Structure 1
Amino acid sequence: MAVPAPSRLQALHSSAASCVEVLAASAGPAFPYLRGWSFHFDAPDTHHPKVCVQTSTSAGLDQILPWLYYHKVVGVAHFLLFVEGKAAKPSVAGVLESIPGVKVVYRTKELEEQQARSRIWDETWLSGFFYKPCNYELFVKQSLNMEMAIVMARESGMDWIMHLDTDELLYPGGASEYSIRRLLADVPEDVDMVIFPNYESSVERDDIKDPFSEVSMFKKNYDHLPKDTYFGMYKEATRGNPNYFITYGNGKSAARIQDHLRPNGAHRWHNYAKSPNEIKLEEAAVLHYTYTKFSDLTSRRDRCGCKPTKEDVKRCFMLDFDRA
């Protein structure tokens, strides 16, 4: 039920210093702040598509930098970081802006005014999340940011776009190389969207400092499991939780950039003009490092400013685990 993370994740930390110029040492996890990254995945190449990853984040450099570096290694050409909180501070955003292929987008008054005119506010499928606090507000914000990212990615000449959080890593299983570009290059031309089933981390210790190198076990998504294994070991895998995964279980999708593309929540894309042709990958996955540190829970709570009452917690959070 649990699978080891790719050994390449651990190798990134030992190889980083020899590959790039070290800017400064991290005060937390032992991952350097980096510059001088010489990747050329945005160069013209008819055989390998250019991939853009978009995120909305308030994380610090200790989380964002290894996430960026890993995805650079697996072939992501362009990053659109919509930043708030800690991520928007000059000491953090300044470092991010210095990295080639990274575009930092701040939540300014102008951005909010532009997003207030979005056609997303007319979407009935999202209306249940409008004008609500905390997690609901974040979900709407993510959709608005994804909508803007489509235009920005297209202007940058990207071929594919994907929304990922900074606690998620793409695992290009099934490709002939350890490369997201190689994986998407092999997708038939008539396919508009590709679903990466998600795996959820199984944390084995309570003193994790650097999830990407220290967490190595994941629950496989049921899409990647024989049904008798999934149902036969369900009780053992859930350990008393009401759901198989603590958070989401429907994966994340990458979309081919084309006319009329739109977000369909934080996990999917759709198209205003047609029903997209979508496939699900049999080996590739999103590795979700879910609540690997206790501070992941407290920081989520602190961002919301909700009172510690059952009524307020229900108003702020969607998931039972978050509410607990």
Structure 2
Amino acid sequence: MAGRYKFASSSSSSSLWSSSPSHATFTSRLLLLLTLLPFTLACFAFVLQWRGGIPDPINRWSPDPLVFPGMGSSRSTSSVVDDPVRTSRSDCVDVLGQSRSASFPYHRDWKFDYGSDLRPKICITSSTSAGLEQILPWIFYHKVIGASTFLLFVEGKAASPDVSKVLESIPGVTVIYRTKELEEQQARSRIWNETWLASFFYKPCNYELFVKQSLNMEMAIVMARDAGADWIVHLDTDELIHPAGTHEYSLRLLLSQVPGDVDMVVFPNYESSVERDDVKEPFSEVSMFKKNYDHLPKEVYFGNYKESTRGNPNYFLTYGNGKSAARIQDHLRPNGAHRWHNYMKTPK
């Protein structure tokens, strides 16, 4: 028994001894692989960085990813500290005034063009007399969320040579001036024979603006269709679309998910509440909003109505029926500045 045990023990020891070199080789190769892998990745990253690498989309548009258009300053830090009052002024005006280059100073290559291959293609039209300090951040914001075509009917400051020169240089932006020829063309418009708008004709202030916006929207439908747009939205240049409900914060994604038989999407408006009396850049300085009553429980809305209106008969100072996006199709027409309609059917 002792001999047999000794033999078995000897055989086992021999087997372990013979397998040890191969095990050691495998272990050493594994350690070498684990050592070389991160080294190889580091070398690859170094080569990419040396050759320019893959551009970060955020850095492509902004020297400071945390700064939204209109929030940054092109001046040095010392000048901002020395003269805090000037920080609220538009850098666009400074750039144009110094005649260096008529471009948007907040972002590098901000005039990016999505191209015509992305769908759905969204057109935003507006009638505006604002300056660059309002229009440029407005265009940039809506380009980021997916709009690619902008039809701007300009008057006043927006039609001045310095401002219009910048606007015309932006890909996807078409500037339409309110010339005598335009007015004559719109005077022959079908809208002048429509009863739904007749009560607004030949009246001042907002009535005149409402008619003018409707006439411009009618022309914009034809121009948007010629540009290959799938959807059209009418917005003022002090309004921003908020594509809530999409993880990518994309207006294009939101509209691509709308069923094909739906003709119009209504966006209830939220109205900003002025927080200070020295607000200069509302897009970046205002953060408080009244919710639209469509998004409030009735008991909350009516329970706080008197306190929120503070004697004003309206819950909102301007309007409460929101703005809408319309699918471009045959017989589409405006129905005022906030809605669209169709000559041949009731839009869904």
Task: Name the TM-score, length of structure 1 as normaliser.
Answer: 0.76
User: SS state of the match for residue 125, structure 1?
Assistant: coil
Shift of 1:16: 10
Higher strand share: 1
Shift of 1:38: 4.8
Shift of 1:236: 2.0
Question: Does 2:314 match 1:276?
Answer: no
Contact (CA 8 Å) 1:57, 1:87: kept in 2 or not? yes
Shift of 1:193: 0.2
Aligned match of 1:197? 268
Question: Does 2:195 match 1:127?
Answer: no
Aligned match of 1:37? 110
- 1:125 partner letter: W
Shift of 1:96: 0.4
Aligned match of 1:163? 234
Deviations 1:215-258 (A, max 9, x none): 00100001111111111121222122111101100000100000
Higher helix share: 2
Contact (CA 8 Å) 1:41, 1:50: kept in 2 or not? no
Task: Give me the whole-angstrom Cα distance separating, in 1, the residues matched to 2:66 and 2:277.
Answer: 20
**Bigger relative contact order, structure 1 or 2 (CA pairs below 8 A, ≥6 apart):** 1
User: SS state of the match for residue 308, structure 2?
Assistant: helix
Selected match of 1:263 from 330, 334, 342: 334
Q: Please list every run of 5 or more consecutive structure 1 residues that lacks an aligned counterpart in the other structure.
A: 1-7, 18-24, 278-324
Name the CA shift for 1:65/1:9 in 2 (closer, same or farther; >3 Å): farther
Task: Give me the whole-angstrom Cα distance separating, in 1, the residues matched to 2:67 and 2:346.
Answer: 40
Task: Give me the whole-angstrom Cα distance separating, in 2, the residues matched to 1:170 and 1:148.
Answer: 22
Shift of 1:10: 6.4
Question: Does 2:146 match 1:81?
Answer: no
Question: Does 2:105 match 1:28?
Answer: no
Contact (CA 8 Å) 1:37, 1:99: kept in 2 or not? no
User: Mapping of 1:229-308 within 5 angstroms?
Assistant: 229-277=300-348
**Which segments of structure 1 move beyond 6 Å, counting only runs of 4 or more?**
none
Q: Name the Cα RMSD after superposition.
A: 2.2
Contact (CA 8 Å) 1:67, 1:166: kept in 2 or not? yes
Question: Does 2:155 match 1:106?
Answer: no
Aligned match of 2:290? 219
Task: Give me the whole-angstrom Cα distance separating, in 2, the residues matched to 1:54 and 1:163.
Answer: 5
Identical counterparts, % of pairs: 72
Name the CA shift for 1:15/1:203 in 2 (closer, same or farther; >3 Å): closer
Aligned match of 2:123? 52
Shift of 1:115: 0.5
Q: Please list every run of 5 or more consecutive structure 2 residues that lacks an aligned counterpart in the other structure.
A: 1-64, 75-85, 96-102
Aligned match of 2:47? none
Name the CA shift for 1:10/1:238 in 2 (closer, same or farther; >3 Å): farther
Name the CA shift for 1:98/1:126 in 2 (closer, same or farther; >3 Å): same
Task: Give me the whole-angstrom Cα distance separating, in 1, the residues matched to 2:344 and 2:272.
Answer: 37
Shift of 1:172: 0.4
Task: Give me the whole-angstrom Cα distance separating, in 1, the residues matched to 2:297 and 2:111.
Answer: 41
- 1:242 partner letter: P
Contact (CA 8 Å) 1:26, 1:62: kept in 2 or not? no
Contact (CA 8 Å) 2:73, 2:87: kept in 1 or not? no
Contact (CA 8 Å) 2:186, 2:215: kept in 1 or not? yes
State the structure with more CA Rg.
Answer: 2
Task: Give me the whole-angstrom Cα distance separating, in 2, the residues matched to 1:30 and 1:84.
Answer: 22
Task: Give me the whole-angstrom Cα distance separating, in 2, the residues matched to 1:80 and 1:153.
Answer: 8
User: SS state of the match for residue 121, structure 1?
Assistant: helix
Task: Give me the whole-angstrom Cα distance separating, in 2, the residues matched to 1:251 and 1:236.
Answer: 22
Task: Give me the whole-angstrom Cα distance separating, in 1, the residues matched to 2:263 and 2:164.
Answer: 33
Question: Does 2:179 match 1:118?
Answer: no
Contact (CA 8 Å) 1:9, 1:212: kept in 2 or not? no
Shift of 1:13: 4.5
Number of residue pairs the alignment of both structures matches: 261
Task: Name the TM-score, length of structure 2 as normaliser.
Answer: 0.71
Contact (CA 8 Å) 2:88, 2:280: kept in 1 or not? no
Aligned match of 1:188? 259
- 1:182 partner letter: L
Selected match of 1:176 from 247, 260, 277: 247
Aligned match of 1:140? 211
Contact (CA 8 Å) 1:74, 1:181: kept in 2 or not? yes
Shift of 1:26: 9.3
- 1:34 partner letter: F
